[in-house]
Amino acid sequence: MKNLIFAGIFFLTCAINAQYTTPGTGVVWNFNDLVDNSGGVVVTDPDNPTNGFIVNATVTVEEPDEILIITDIVVRIKQDFDIVFNSSKFTVDAPGQALFTAFNQSNEWGRIVIDDDAIVDLKNAKFTYGKGIRVAIDPTGSFIVDNCEFSYNFDNDSSPMYAAINLTEGFATIKNSTFLDNYYAAIASGANTSSTFIIENNYFEGNVTSNTNRPQINIGPCAAGDTSKIIGNTIIGNRLHTMAGGIGTSSLLSVSCAFLIQDNFIQDNRYGITLTGSNIYGKIIGNVLLDNNTEVNPMMGGSGINITNSASNVFAYISQNFILGHLWGITAVGNVPYLTHGPYLNLGNIDVEPDHPDYNIGMNFFRNNGNGGLLYDFYNNNPHDIMAQNNNWGVETQDFDNISTVVWHQPTDERFGLVTFMPPYIETYTVSGRVVAENEPLVGAQLNVEIGENVYSTTINSDGVFEFTAENNAFISITITCEGYYDYTNSFTIEDADVDLGDIVMIPIDPPTYTVSGRVVDENGPLSALLFVEIDGVVYTVTLESDGVFEFTAENNAFISITITCGGYHPQTISFTIEDDDVDLGDIVMIPFIPPTYTVSGRVVDENGPLQGANVHIIITQDYGTYDILFLTDETGIFEVADIIKNNATVTIKIDKIGYDSYENSFIVEDEDVTLGDILLTKIQFPAPQNFEMTYTYYKWDEWGMCAGDVVYGPTYCSTFQWEVPYLTETSAQLTGYNLYYYYTDVYYEGMEIPIDNVVLVAHTTNNYLQMEVGIIGLLWVTAVYTEPEGESVHSNYEFNDDLPISIDKSEIPSYSIVYNQQERAVEIFGIENIKSIAIYGLDGILLNSIDDCNNIIEMKNISQGVYIIKITTETGNIISDKIVVF
């Protein structure tokens, strides 16, 4: 007989000596505020002045103050100094990470101390190289940790039970966080204090680097009536730390509390899960426990799950766990060596109805758990009888004799309780597949399955799919048969996985086939027709070439129906059955028919009645080609097309006349004439000018010419604009003149959107001709202006100019330079003497600035960036023109 004993769990408290205390007036501060108010206790980190801080002494946040961190910061804390929250608030919600670490990694800082009814909400924070967080809050406070990291925290107190997070009372939620290589446990609470918690979806690895007897999660009792939950965590040990366990829960109080340990992955620890103490109810469900056997002495650990109770009640409900590679699978330990008390366990009870409180589906899986050459899936070192039905034990054959070799209970020692493990859970797997032929399900196939000595048959369903279950390690042979196909056979062994055979393609036994042939003709010879061939209910389409010949094969006794269609001919259908011979249908003569035609008509009118001289453009698209017909309406305004429009033809009608809005309509002719009735064209009220043109003449500095009736001297531009008078016959409005518009752009493309606010009205004229002493880069157009009623037409066509020539004659001018001084925002002129005047023009020819009797400098402070023309006139009458670039 083996009597199993496992180590206990311990806790410690610490004192706080604060050197700066917040005012307790309800301030909400960040660390910059602490720098401003702490008198040097908190200072800006000179190595990281942007978001770094140094804590030189203990900081206490007094009720009801709050430390609020919503930016990424780095806080370095000097050795042994704490941050204490005394009934106050501590909130971290950094966008990236708020880091709390030691000033020097070789000298750990103190703790984050949460006292009384403090409210703590930590998101995206990291705590490293310190002594962790101690939480002691009453029920009015709260402690929430989400997406944080705790690593390399260290406390070598002489009686340590500290952890990266040490819970002493109150309620805590710790989720989505990471705990790495902390000196003692990652999370701990006292065995003699009440602390209810939720530990969910966290990652633990390599904690308890001290290699002392404690688990990575080391939890004491919860508050009366509450349930503490450890759900969905990953807990990985370091196999060099042989004393570090996975999850440990205990209670040294008389308070009755509950634990839920569910869906955790626990690997490479001293043990997986241990539950010890008194007045505890624990549910251990759906956990995966692998190789928690770093303790090589089986009397000191190595259990996947250990439940220990030497006095008061401990109840454990254990279901649906996977327990692999331990020294012991599950151990239930009483008050050895007398075995008068022990825990109550339920590993599976299917003798009661599912709604009964004792019902447990079991389904725990045990594999390779043992030591000393023996397997120990379950060791009941406990006086109580235990139900352990519907589990899968670590033996090849799940029967009474084999399971008895891995379950240690009353037959081993009469002091042990009896374990009821029959019936076991027989692990089964699914075998599935689909039977197909020519990529389609094969209906009516027969499936024959042989499993050991059992044989059964079934017909494959209409989808071709089959599915059945078999026990693990079963040898299976299947045969699939179907008339007209070769048999399919396959044999295999179930090996811890479902078997999907995928598509099983049946190979047909080729039947004899015969040829069906013929030729489609009319009175003039072969036709290119379309054949619909139906063979035993399946329809195929065949398109004949110009020789009209067709040929295909079919099996004997097949019923065949052939329907032949050809545009302009009556369809024909021929039906027959293949009877052991080829079938030659010879010439199949198609009978033509004359399809009906339909008429499309209408009348074009304006507000005064029928409209003469309208252009009617009719486009007819049909099977036999496209017709394009043009009409010019007479005094009746009527148009009509007859005798050529077939059914289902698409007809498009476009009507236009100068001075009127155009009309367009498309429709399909469907078994009747189409009468469009009166089509009203509306006169254009304000016709636009047509064929707008722009030309310009450039006069150099030593040239002259005429522009707009005046003599002009170079350098200058003379631009000429001209256009055609609008078509005015069909409008009653009176034309009064034209507006010339300009918009500056150095790039123009068709469809470009022109912002109205930037359009310039250049000139208004009553003529269709305009001349101006100006050179323009950009876009121009003209509109017509009307009265009776008043209005303005849409724009004419656009004219676009993207450059202007600048010709400079320097033959009689000594070498000079013109420089733009960006710093002074001025133009400086070198090499030109006796300057009389300087003028600055835009590229559109508009004068922007001029100075008379000046020196060689002209300011450009109120001119935007761009290219400009500078014109310099000397006392001797010389004129120099050049480009300058302002930037």
Q: Report pLDDT digits (tens) over 531-577.
A: 888 888 888 888 787 888 988 888 888 898 988 888 778 888 999 99
Q: What's the confidence (pLDDT) of residue 254? A: 67
The CA-based dihedral angle spanning residues 549, 555, 561, 564, taken in that order and rounded to the nearest 10 degrees: -20
Give the least confident one: 27-41, 173-187, 723-737.
Answer: 723-737
Contact 239, 267 (CB under 8 A): no
Q: What's the confidence (pLDDT) of residue 701? A: 66
What is the C-alpha separation between 378 and 366, in angstroms, rounded?
9
pTM: 0.55
- Backbone phi, psi, residue 757, to 5°: -65, -20
- Backbone phi, psi, residue 397, to 5°: -110, 120
Q: Report pLDDT digits (tens) over 320-342.
A: 999 999 999 999 988 767 677 78
Give the up-direction half-sphere exposure of residue 851: CA atoms within 13 A in the CB hemisphere: 14
Q: What's the confidence (pLDDT) of residue 338? A: 64
Q: Which residues lie closer than 8 Å to 732 by C-beta, 6 or more apart?
A: 788
Q: Which residues lie closer than 8 Å to 119 by C-beta, 6 or more apart?
A: 88, 89, 90, 141, 142
Q: Report pLDDT digits (tens) over 623-665.
A: 767 888 898 999 999 999 988 888 889 999 999 887 788 899 9
User: Which of residues 621 and 727 earns the better pLDDT score?
Assistant: 621
DSSP string, 608-671: TEE-TT-EEEEEEEETTEEEEEEEE--TT-EEEEEEEEETT-EEEEEEE-TTB--EEEEEE--S
Please give the mean pLDDT across all residues of the chain: 87
Q: Report pLDDT digits (tens) over 586-606.
A: 999 988 877 788 999 999 998
Nearest to 624 by CA among 595, 591, 598, 599: 595
What is the C-alpha separation between 149 and 202, in angstroms, rounded?
10
Nearest to 295 by CA among 315, 272, 316: 272
Q: What's the confidence (pLDDT) of residue 774? A: 85
User: Residue 192 to residues 168, 341, 717: CA-CA distances in angstroms?
Assistant: 9, 21, 100
Q: Which residues lie closer than 8 Å to 403 by C-beta, 6 or more apart?
A: 393, 395, 421, 422, 424
Q: Mean pLDDT across the stretch 21-32?
A: 96
Nearest to 602 by CA among 590, 593, 611, 591: 611
What is the C-alpha separation between 64 and 85, in angstroms, rounded?
10
Residue 215: is the preceding peptide bond cis (ω within 30°)?
Answer: no
- Backbone phi, psi, residue 294, to 5°: -65, -25
Q: What's the confidence (pLDDT) of residue 312? A: 65
Q: Report pLDDT digits (tens) over 105-164.
A: 888 898 999 988 899 999 999 999 999 999 888 777 889 999 999 999 987 664 445 799
Q: Which residues lie closer than 8 Å to 409 by C-beta, 6 or more apart?
A: 378, 380, 386, 416, 417, 418, 419
Helix (H, G, I), strand (E, B) or coil at 177: coil
Q: Report pLDDT digits (tens) over 219-268.
A: 988 877 789 999 999 999 999 999 999 999 988 766 778 899 999 999 99
Instruction: Tell me 219's DSSP state.
Output: E
Nearest to 294 by CA among 233, 235, 245: 245
Query: For the chain, what percent of residues have pLDDT higher than 70?
Result: 94
Which pLDDT band holds residue 294 (cuts at 50, 70, 90)? very high
Q: Report pLDDT digits (tens) over 184-224.
A: 999 998 777 788 899 999 999 999 999 999 999 999 888 77
Order across the sheet with 835-841: list the strands.
847-852, 835-841, 866-874, 879-886
Q: Count Cβ atoms below 10 Å from residue 844 Cβ, excluding itself.
A: 18
- Backbone phi, psi, residue 225, to 5°: 85, -10
* 607 has a pLDDT exceeding 60: yes
Which pLDDT band holds residue 311 (cuts at 50, 70, 90)? low
- Backbone phi, psi, residue 511, to 5°: -85, 165
Which tokens in the block code for residue 729? 């016959």
Nearest to 182 by CA among 202, 157, 159, 162: 162
**Residue with tokens 């500078």, as numbered in its chain:** 870
Q: Report pLDDT digits (tens) over 674-690.
A: 999 999 988 888 888 98
Nearest to 689 by CA among 805, 755, 616, 770: 770
Residue 502 is inside which H or E element, if any?
A: strand 499-505
Which tokens in the block code for residue 20? 């700066």
**Residue with tokens 């925290």, as numbered in its chain:** 153
Nearest to 881 by CA among 822, 832, 824: 832
* SS3 annotation, 58-91: CEEEECCCEEEECCCEEEEECCCCCEEEECCEEE
Residue 592: is the preceding peptide bond cis (ω within 30°)?
Answer: no
DSSP string, 685-702: SSPPPEEEEEEEEEE-TT
Burial class (CB in 10 A: 0-12, 13-18, 19+), 806: middle
Q: Which residues pair with 115 in a beta bridge?
A: 86, 136
Contact 175, 206 (CB under 8 A): no
